[in-house]
Amino acid sequence: MTLTRRDFSRLAALGAAAHFVPTPVRAQSDQKKTGYAIIGLGRIASHFMAGAHNTTNSQITALVSGHRDKAEKIAAENNIPKSSIYSYENFDEIAHNPAVDAVYVALPNSMHAEYTIRAAKAGKHVLCEKPMATSVEDSEKMIAACKAANKKLMIAYRCHYEPTNLRAVNLIRDGAIGQVQTIQSAFGFNIAKGEWRTSKAMAGGGPLYDVGIYSLNACRYLTGEEPDHIAAYASTIDHDGRFNDVEENVSWTMHFPSGIVASCSTTYGANMQGYFRVYGSKGWIEVDDAFSYDGLRLRANLSGKQIDEPSTAHDPSHFQAEADHFSHCVQNNLEPQSPGEEGLKDMQYIAQIYKAAGINS
C-alpha cells in the first residue's frame, strides 16, 4: 500500500470528521444514502450497523442470516421490512432489491469468498471483513468477480480510517522521528474453547489470520513499503484441545527495501494488548490499544519533544469512518483506500509467513 502525504492528510480529516463534525455540515437531509445488506449478524456486524447509523450517507436496508427469529428482531430495531430479510439459500434474490447498493460481509473467513462473489454477481458493491479470504486463490477470485461485475470491493481495514493510526503515519511521513529503523508490534488474546476461529476449515488458520493481520498490515502502512524478506516461527504450548487445527503462537520478522526491520507476534494463548512501536533516528512513536475499537493512545518522543495523545473517539467511530468512506466511494465512483488488492497482499504475506514457519496453509 503506497499512499502520499496528501492521501493520509485527507483520510485523517475524514476519520476525524466522522467523529467530530455535526451531521448537518456533512450532508443535506435529502442526500441519497448507500443501502447495505448485512451478511451475518454476529458481534462485529452490530458494531458496523451502529457506525453506519451514525453517518449521513449510509443506511442498513437488508439482513442476511440463517436465524430468522434473530433477523426479524434486528430488522424491527432498524426499520427494515421483513421482505428485506434473506437466508443464505435465497441470498441471490437480493439482486432484485433496489434498496440494497452494497453488502457488508461479516461471516466466518471461509465464507467471505462465496458471498463476495455472489454479491458481485447480484450487482452489489462489497465491503468485506478482513482477512478477505482463507487463500490467495480465493482472494484473486473475489477481485476478479467484482471487476467483472464493475462493482467496488473494499476490505474492512478500519485502522486505515482511524485518526490515531493516521496521526502516527503522518508524523512518520513528515520525518518527525527521522529515518525509521525498526518496528515492533503484537496483538493476541486467550481464546475460549469452541470458538469457530479455532477451526482451520472456517478460519483458514490461527491468530495470524484473526489478529496478527493487524500487525502485519500496520507495518506496511507505517513504512509505506512492502516487505522483501520474511522469517517466522510458530508454536503450540497449550495442548488442551483448542489448537488441534490451528497454531497457538506465531512470531515473524519482515525486512523492507529501505532496511527497516519489523518484529511481530500474535497469539491465541494469552491476552496481548495490540500495539506498535516505531523507532527512528530522531525519536520514536508508539500507539497502545492501536487496533482496538476505542481507548487508543499515541505517545512519542520527537527530537526530545514529548507527546501524549489519548484518543477521544469511541466505538463505533471506526466503523462509522469505514462506512462513510465506502459509501462516498460508491456514490462518487472512487476507488477505496483499502481495495481488494490490499487484502490480497496480506493474504500473500500470510502464506509466506506460514511457509517460513513450517505450517501447511
Task: Report the catalytic residues.
Answer: 130, 214
In angstroms, the CA 234 to CA 183 distance is 20
Instruction: Report the C-alpha gap between 43 and 23 in whole angstroms.
Output: 26
- Main-chain dihedrals φ then ψ at residue 61, nearest 5 degrees: -120, -5
Question: What sections of 21-111 are H helices per DSSP?
Answer: 23-26, 43-53, 68-77
Taking CA atoms, 133 is separated from 117, 342, 352, in Å, by 12, 12, 15
With 0-12 / 13-18 / 19 or more C-beta atoms within 10 angstroms meaning exposed / middle / buried, residue 182 is: middle
Residue 320 and residue 54 in contact, taking contact as beta carbons nearer than 8 Å? yes
Lookup: cell for 279: 523507532
Give the contacts of 234 (CB within 8 A, at least 6 positions apart): 247, 249, 250, 251, 354, 357, 358, 359
CA distance 143 to 236: 34
Name the phi and psi angles at 89, rounded to 5. Answer: -70, -40
CA terminus-to-terminus distance, the chain: 24
3-state percent breakdown (helix, strand, coil) of the chain, nearest 5: 40, 25, 35
Query: Which residue, chain included where needed, has cell 515473524?
Result: 252
How far apart are the C-alpha atoms of 256 and 183, rounded to whole Å?
A: 11
> Could you give the CA distance from residue 319 to residue 299 in angstroms, rounded to a whole number?
24
